Each structure stands twice: as C-alpha cells, then as structure tokens.
Amino acid sequence: MNLTSVIKTDSGIPVRKVYKKNSLRKKTQDQEPGRFPYLRGIYPDMYRERLWTMRQYSGFGSAEETNNRFKFLLSHGQTGLSLAFDLPTQTGRDSDDSQSEGEVGRTGVAISSLKDMVTCFEGIPMDKVSTSMTINSTASTLLSLYISVAELQGFSPGKLRGTTQNDILKEYIARNTYIYPPKPSIRLIGDTIEHCYKHVPQWYPISISGYHMREAGCTAVQELAFTFANAIEYISTCVDRGIKIDDFAQRLSFFFCCTMEFFEEVAKFRAAREIYARIMKDIFHAKNAKSLHLRFHVQTSGESLTAQQVDNNIVRVTTQALAAVLGGCQSLHTNSRDEALALPTEESVKVALRTQQIIGAETGVTKTVDPVGGSYYIESLTQTIKEEVEKYLKKIHRMGGALAAVERGFFQDEIRKNAYRLKKEVDAAERIIVGVNKFQDIEGVEPKISMLDNEIEIRQVARLKDFKNNRDKIKTDAAISALQKAAENPDENLMPHIINAVKSNVTLGEINNVFKEVFGMFEPKIAF
C-alpha cells in the first residue's frame, strides 16, 4: 500500500491515519438509545432485552424438502423462517409452464398452488413462527396463499407474523424479476399494505430492500440513498390513497446488505436509523414515535463469498454478522460457506446459524447498547454517510422521485459505474480478495455440495396437473373472472380478490395471466 496515497472506504470516504475529538465537524451529543433520532438504536435496551431474530434463508426444490429444512432449522434453535422461491414462482409462471422448464425448484421452492403452500407449512405452527418471504412481483399472491393456509390450520390472519419483501422498484434497478410496468406494480404494493394494516396487523407487507442493489455493485452510501428514495415513493403511494401515515408506518421494514468494509458497515446502519427517522418526521409528519423506527433485517453479502477456499467464507460471514449486530439489526441471516457453489448443505447451514448464536451468547457485544458509539472514527463515518445520503436524496427529489429516477435509468447507471470500478480494482489486485487474487492455493480441495434431485421438476409438474384436473372448474373460472373485473377497476383493492382466487384453487400462473392481460408487461429500454 502506498502510504502517500489517499486511503478511502468502499464508498470513497477518505480515511485519516488517526481520529481525535476534533475530527468531528459537528459536535456530537450524548444520545440515548430508544429516543429520536434513534442513532444508537430504536429500543432503549436493544439486545440486553432480546436478541435479534436469527432467520436463515431456506427454500428447496419441492415443498416437502422445504418443509423438512424448516423443521431442521427450528430444531437447531432458529427463531424465524425465511423462504426462497424458484424463478418460475418469482416471475408468475406455474411449474408446468413451458417457460419454466429447467428452472423448477432450482433457486428455491416451487409454489404454484394452495396445495403446494399447505405442504410447505405442514406441521409448522404458523401462529408462533415468524416467516419472511423473499418475493416481489408475485408477493400479493404468495401472501394470499400464506393467509389461506393459516386459515386452513385454524389461525386468524391477525395472528400471523412475518414479512413479504414486495419491493418492486429495486427489481427494475438491480434484480430484474419484474413482470408488469411500474405503476400497476406499485398499485399491488399499495393494495397489500392497505389490506395488511386492516386485516393482518402483525405482518410487514413490505421489506424495502437495499440488499440487491448493494450486491449489484453500489456503495454503502448509494445503498441507503436508493433504498430510502424507494421508501419515499411507496409511502407517498399509501398517503395519496388517504391512508394516515401512523396507520401503516409501524409495519414497514427494511432489508440491507452487510459486506466487508467493517467500520463503514457499522456506521451505515447507525446513520440509516437517523436518516429514516427524520424522513418520517419531517416529510411525512408522523406523530407516533414507533412510526419513526427503522426496523431492518440484514443478510451477509453473498457477492463477497468465493468459490475458491470456501472455508474462508466462514470468516467473511462472521465478520459481516458482527458488523450487523454492532450496527443494531433486528434480524439477521448469515450465508453458508458453500453458497458460491450451490444451495448449502445442512452442515453448512448449521455452521452459519451457530455463527450467530456464538456472537449472541459468547462475545459480550450484547451486554451494552451501541458499544461502538463514541468512537471518533465511527462517529465521523456515521456523520459523513448521513451527509452523502442526503445529497443523493435531494438529487433524486429534483428528478421527480424514485419512480422517475428508475424510468430514466439513474440508479442503474450509478450502480453500473461503481460495479465496474470494483471489478477493475480486483483485476488489478488493488483490492485483495484472499484466495482469489492473493494467497491462492495451487491445488484446491473440492467441498461436499448439495445436489438437486433432477426428478423434482417431473414430480412437481405431475402434482400440479393432477391438482388442476381435480378442482371445481366452475368455481375456479368464476374467481378468475371476478379477479379480472377488479383489476380493471384502479380503485379496487385486489387483495380480497386474490385471496378468494387462491381459495378457489386458481394457480399462481393463472392469477399472473389475468394481471398481464390487464396491466401489460414491462419492456425495459435498451440503450446501444
């Protein structure tokens, strides 16, 4: 390292050799956790009272396998479920769709029908377990399936706890599992939020996500700025419907990435709480203190994992998890060592869960609230991140908000530029990745990895065809017709109609086909 060059964080913030009291440009006051602006934590006692939720991401080929993995994780001390879906489910295609061929059960569980969801949660106490579902374009349908299964188990929707990701703007920005154009997609999100605050009050109907944008290449500063810009768009949608901010703000949640720049990540989470509290107070005029709370889930960075020397990933994940805890997350997923190669083995998943448990039980970091608060370096980083995020938010506001910024490709271009910078640094060995561009092994040891059963797709398609052949077609057709009529009325909340459809054994793909006919499909502009 050239000591005469300027050393910077991943977000480009210059780092001094040493930080002193006068390093802070503004006088920092002794803030209390649990009080506005919540820099030090949204609760007065934080982890002294209750640890974060340990929520490992799961979802395997078939509903039966996913059910078995859920039970395995719960038996080993996991305190919340997190459900991954395959690409056909994410993009609104049934397993027997010709375009689903080769993808059924590959990136998560295949869910096409109410029967699939019943199998997935068989024997799982849905009134006691919190479930997070990583689903976006088809989130309203998956939540309707979940509600319907709970009712079949005898539980009121009012008892359900969990989260649907349901963040479509970041799909147009970074992840690309969109289906419909932005405006009708945002309508579905508004419908879900409105339905949940009235009928599923303990559910978080949206988890506004910076994770995927960060994994695509943006900086820590951009992650916060773009996430909060999207949040402002969603909140404005609900407020414009006449919903009072304090009626739904407490059920908004967030999802952030935690990667390897340790102190910057800690500072990012601390800054995020204050930025969000001020947005809710100053822009939306929330009165209830709980409406100002930034409740967020963190997942360690999948992009930082390497296929080379996979055991090194345990160290990476541990470091990232510790930063998330020091930053004050409410729930945490730790990636498994072998995820750069395949879906994780049970052994790897258990090590990832034990990582969280060791941090919570053995390190002592939970004994005091915000143990890094007061560090000149941490406080300086926190302050700078807040200022840089605010600059981005003002710029996005001048563009007309997040939707306008997405439509003109602003977020996408910013992420591309930073991703290119990072790639060049790795290629030039200016950014060291242990085992990749330095400290390589001449002969690698191949780890044991999970192997998918190639018969999963055949069995799933056969089950789905049997399901379709044995339902009441008159009832199903009537539900589809009612759903289409409701979708054509922009003032109609679609959630009751989707719930009625899934209870009438309409499949996910059939619901999606109705919406595609009414809303159309999104076609991105391609620049040459």
pLDDT digits (tens, 9 = 90+) for 397-439: 999 999 999 999 999 999 999 999 999 999 999 999 999 999 9
Question: Does residue 465 come out as left (phi exceeding 0), alpha (psi in the -120 to 50 range) or beta?
Answer: alpha
Mean pLDDT along residues 183-192 = 96
Contact present, 305 and 247 (Cβ < 8 Å): no
214, 180, 427: which is closest to 303 by C-alpha? Answer: 214
Q: Where in the chain are the domains?
A: 39-427
76, exposed or middle or buried, with CB in 10 Å at 0-12, 13-18, 19+?
Answer: middle
Which pLDDT belongs to residue 483?
98
Cis peptide before 37 (omega within 30 of 0): yes
Give the pLDDT confidence of 347-384 residue by residue, as tens digits.
Answer: 998 999 999 999 999 999 999 999 999 999 999 999 99
Tell whether the model's pLDDT for residue 19 goes beyond 60: yes
What is the model's pLDDT at position 74? Answer: 86
Pairing status of strand 296-300 against strand 206-209:
unpaired
* Cβ neighbours for 110, distance < 8 A, ≥ 6 positions apart: 61, 62, 63, 85, 86, 88, 89, 95, 104, 116, 456, 457, 460
Q: What is the CATH number of domain 39-427?
A: 3.20.20.240
Answer whether residue 454 shows pLDDT above 90: no
- Residue whose C-alpha is closest to residue 341's, from 381, 307, 373, 372: 307
Q: Is 160 helix (H, G, I), strand (E, B) or coil?
A: coil
Helix, strand or coil, per DSSP, at residue 298:
strand
How far is 183 from 240, CA to CA, in rounded Å?
14
pLDDT of residue 55: 79
pLDDT at site 503: 98
Q: Give pLDDT, residue 344.
A: 83
% of the chain beyond a pLDDT of 90: 83
Residue 452 binned pLDDT confidence (cut-offs 50, 70, 90): low
Q: Looking at the DSSP assignment, which residues form a beta bridge with residue 296?
A: 254
Q: Is the pLDDT of residue 199 over 70?
A: yes
pLDDT tens for 306-349 read: 999 999 999 999 999 999 999 999 999 999 999 888 878 889 98
Alpha-carbon torsion angle 416, 421, 423, 427, nearest 10: 160
How many beta carbons lie within 10 A of that of residue 260, not counting itself? 16
Instruction: Say what the pLDDT of residue 60 is.
Output: 66
The answer to whether 389 touches 228, Cβ cutoff 8 Å, is yes
Q: Minimal CA–CA distance to 306: which of 452, 431, 428, 177?
A: 431
- The overall average pLDDT reported for the chain is 93
Residue 135 · residue 88 · CB < 8 Å: no
Q: Identify residue 11 by its one-letter amino acid code.
A: S
State the average pLDDT over residues 73-87. 85
- Mean pLDDT, residues 221-250 taken together: 97
pLDDT at position 528 over 50: no
Name the DSSP letter for residue 273: H
Q: Give the span between the Cα atoms of 307 and 337, in whole angstroms.
A: 9
Residue 265 has pLDDT above 70, yes or no: yes
DSSP 100-124: GTTTTTSSSB---SHHHHHHHTTT-
Report DSSP letters for 381-398, one per residue. HHHHHHHHHHHHHHHHHH
The proportion of the chain whose per-residue pLDDT surpasses 70, expressed as a percent, equals: 95
Q: List, for residues 237-259, the tens digit of each pLDDT value.
A: 999 999 999 999 999 999 999 99
132-145 pLDDT, tens per residue?
999 999 999 999 99
pLDDT bracket for residue 15 (50, 70, 90) = very high
What is the DSSP secondary structure assignment for residue 203, as one 8-state letter? E
Question: Nearest CA to 473 among 507, 496, 505, 510?
Answer: 505
Q: Is the pLDDT of residue 448 over 60?
A: yes
Whether 284 shows a pLDDT value over 60: the answer reads yes
Contact 182, 139 (CB under 8 A): no
**Cα–Cα distance for residue pair 267/245, rounded to 1 Å:** 28
Residues 6+ apart with CB under 8 A from 443: none
